[in-house]
Structures are given as structure tokens and as C-alpha cells.
Structure 1
Amino acid sequence: MGNTDKFEMIANTYDTPERIQVAKVSSDAIREYLVDANSKNAIDFGCGTGLVGMNLLNDFNSVLFLDTSQNMINQIKQKISDFNIENAATLCFDFEKEDLSDLHADYIFMAQVLLHINDIEFVLSRLFDVLNEGGHLIIVDFNKNEKVVSDIVHNGFDQVKLTDLMTKIGYRDIQSKTFYNGSKLFMGQDASMFILDSQR
């Protein structure tokens, strides 16, 4: 997945107060879309240091923290150990390079991950295959932002275009809304974030 090298370098210093705050509003937004999740298994896809997934551990039967950066995964392993967490597991894996046919989940959530993925249709198709029938993919990311110019990330997403792409892949019952605005939130620019819920 994109920018793994960068994340390897910043893993130890990733949990800033700003990131912790954004993770909290993101996990609160995700929680609103969960249905009978206590018996369900989830994947925190592109989990980073697990800031979002850790907030949702009590909402699921289990959470698998998945990331391409081993250093990020090591941070989560430390948290799991420190807090004696029993319903979490970790996996260092790159969906853009490898296929993982035996991985399945009822919920997949990804917060500020899609903007780092080069071929989003390919990865969203892979995630569709991982979802159990009726399972949900929940995406939290930035709305399209023309002020953000970058060679390493997408400058956000148009909710309508993303919905159209996901419909083409096979996702259904897609709903999305903007839920958060923040100053200097995205590459130093004021930005807004959306949440999108979809089903297989």
C-alpha cells in the first residue's frame, strides 16, 4: 500500500493529540453505523497505530488490525500487551501486492486510508471479496479538496463518484455524509471528512 516507508519512520511518534482527537470523532461516527456488532468480527484496514480500532474494541467480538507497516503493527502489539486485550489480533499485509483468500470479516472500516491507495478500485474490490455476505465496509476520509496538492496522496474524494465506483464493484445500500470539519486537518489545509457505509 502507498507510503509504507513513510509510516515505518513515523510509527513511534504517530500518536499526537491531534491524531488522537480525529480518531475519536472518526470512531464515534463509525459506531453510529454498527448493527448488532457485538457478535461480529471486524478488520481495521490500514490501521496505523490502531487509534480508531482501539476505540471500537468493545463494540465487536474481535478486531483484526491490518497494516502494511510492520512498525505500526508493532505499536499495536505493544498496546494489546499493555492493556491485556484479548479480542484483538494483528496482521502485516499488503492487499495491493498479495491475495489473502482465507480472510473474512463482517465489518471492515478504514479511516484516512483510501487517500494513500494508488488503485482504489482494485483494493475496494479485494475488500468486497473479504466481506461476508451482508457485511459492511465503512470508509472515513477527506472530501475532495482542491487546496491540497500532493504527489503521494489523493486530495480527498467526491462522495458521489466514490459511490458510483463502489456500486460498479457490487456494493449496495451505500450512504454517505460529511460529519466533521477541522482547521489544518489535511496537509496543513482546512478540510472536511465524510463517512460512507456500504454493504456486500
Structure 2
Amino acid sequence: MEERIFHRIAHRYDSESQIQLTEKIAKEMRTRMTPAHRLLDYGCGTGLVGLQFADDVDQLILADAESEMLKIVQQKIVSLDLKNAETMQLNVVEDSLPDIQVDTIIMSLVMLHVPDTQTLLNQLFKLLQPGGQILIADFNQNDKVSHPLIHSGFAHETVKEKMEEVGFNTPSIHTFYQGENLFMNQDASLFLARATKA
């Protein structure tokens, strides 16, 4: 159901407000990220966050479950003449995992759309090589948001517990941005969580 929604909105996803928000997310991720060589942007959408790291890494993998989103990403890769970027259609909760290992995973505004966040994190953990890092940006818990298909954000302690249960080391999490009408037309704030794999 959720993937069909993204199929419909793919070609109007890159609004000015969305671009501005993803620039803030990428900037915050960059301040917390150690040098990355092989980066996976999981749930990349149209690549608004992940493509901002193309010049920083040796290999950039932009993965999403929705093919229409990936078509747009591929067009951007071609127009930017990026030789180190590739797309991958992937739903780690439902699909077999690809035979890849990366040292960095980023995920932006993805968890709120995934009912089984524990399986999501567990599967991503498997794709991360020892010593690797994961950075997750998403919405803080928001009591004004209620929708049957999405989470209403996440409490910091809940995210930490989920990451530790999977096996991630010393997760840290902080709020970095607050804005108007960010989340289902409600004022909302964003957190960034970072952890490593031993």
C-alpha cells in the first residue's frame, strides 16, 4: 500500500520545501559521519539526501522499494554524470538481502513508513561491515499525528533500545531541527541517530 503511494507521488516529490529539508538532513549527517567509502542510502526516494554525498564516497548505492523513485534517481545520476553511483530496487524487510557489504548506511524519513522497524534495523545491520556506521534521520514522537499507515514519530529511548537490541554499539541521538507543517501538516522536529557495528 505504502509503496503505491510513493509510486503516485514520485514525479512531484522534489518540492522546494522537500529539497530544503533534505539539505538540512544531509548537512547534519555530514557533521556526525566519519569518512565513508561505500555508502548505502536505504529508502533513498528521489535521491535528495544520498546524492549530496556522491563526491564524498568511492561508491554510492541508492536503494528504494519503489521503481518510479529509482527511475528519477537514475535520471539524476546520468545528468550529473556520476560514475560512482548506482540504484538498487530493494525492500530489506520483504526481499532477500543482496550480497553487499557497506561501511555506511544512511536512512532519512524511512522508519516512519515501515511497520516492522525491528526487522528493518536487523536487516540493515547485516549489510553493514564491522566498524561501519548507520545514521538515521526521522521525526520525533508527535502526539498530533495519527495515521493508520505510518508511525507518529519515535521517542529517543525507543530508537536507542531498538538499535541496541539489534546489536548496534553506543547509539547516540539528538534533535537537530524543528519546523512548521513538517509532518502531516503539523509542526514537528527531527532527530538524528548514529551508531556503529563492532
Q: CA deviation at 1:34?
A: 1.7
- Tell me whether 1:84 sits opposite 2:81 in the alignment: yes
Residue pairs, 1:56-95, within 5 angstroms: 56-95=53-92
- Tell me whether 1:45 sits opposite 2:42 in the alignment: yes
Structure 2 match to 1:102: 99
SS of corresponding position for 2:49: helix
TM-score, reference length from structure 2? 0.97
Q: Could you tell me how far apart the structure 2 residues matched to 1:91 and 1:63 are?
A: 11
Q: Could you tell me how far apart the structure 1 residues matched to 2:194 and 2:44 are?
A: 18
Segments of 4+ moved more than 3 angstroms: none
Question: C-alpha deviations, 1:61-116, integer Å up to 9, x for none?
Answer: 11100000000000000001111111100001111211215121100000000000
Q: CA deviation at 1:161?
A: 1.2
Match for 2:70: what amino acid? I
Structure 2, unaligned stretches of length 5 or more?
none
Match for 1:147: what amino acid? K
Q: Could you tell me how far apart the structure 2 residues matched to 1:153 and 1:103 are?
A: 29
Q: Could you tell me how far apart the structure 2 residues matched to 1:58 and 1:82 are?
A: 15
Structure 1, unaligned stretches of length 5 or more?
none
Aligned alpha-carbon RMSD (Å): 0.9
Percentage identity across paired residues of the two chains:
34
Q: Could you tell me how far apart the structure 2 residues matched to 1:173 and 1:58 are?
A: 28
Residue pairs, 1:116-127, within 5 angstroms: 116-127=113-124
SS of corresponding position for 2:19: helix
- Tell me whether 1:12 sits opposite 2:19 in the alignment: no
Task: Give the length in aligned residue pairs.
Answer: 197
SS of corresponding position for 2:71: helix
Q: Could you tell me how far apart the structure 2 residues matched to 1:69 and 1:98 are?
A: 13
Q: CA deviation at 1:36?
A: 2.3
Question: C-alpha deviations, 1:30-57, integer Å up to 9, x for none?
Answer: 10112222xx100000000000011111
1:185 to 182, 189, 194: 182
Structure 2 match to 1:33: 32
Q: CA deviation at 1:179?
A: 0.1
Structure 2 match to 1:111: 108
Structure 1 match to 2:150: 153
Structure 1 match to 2:2: 3
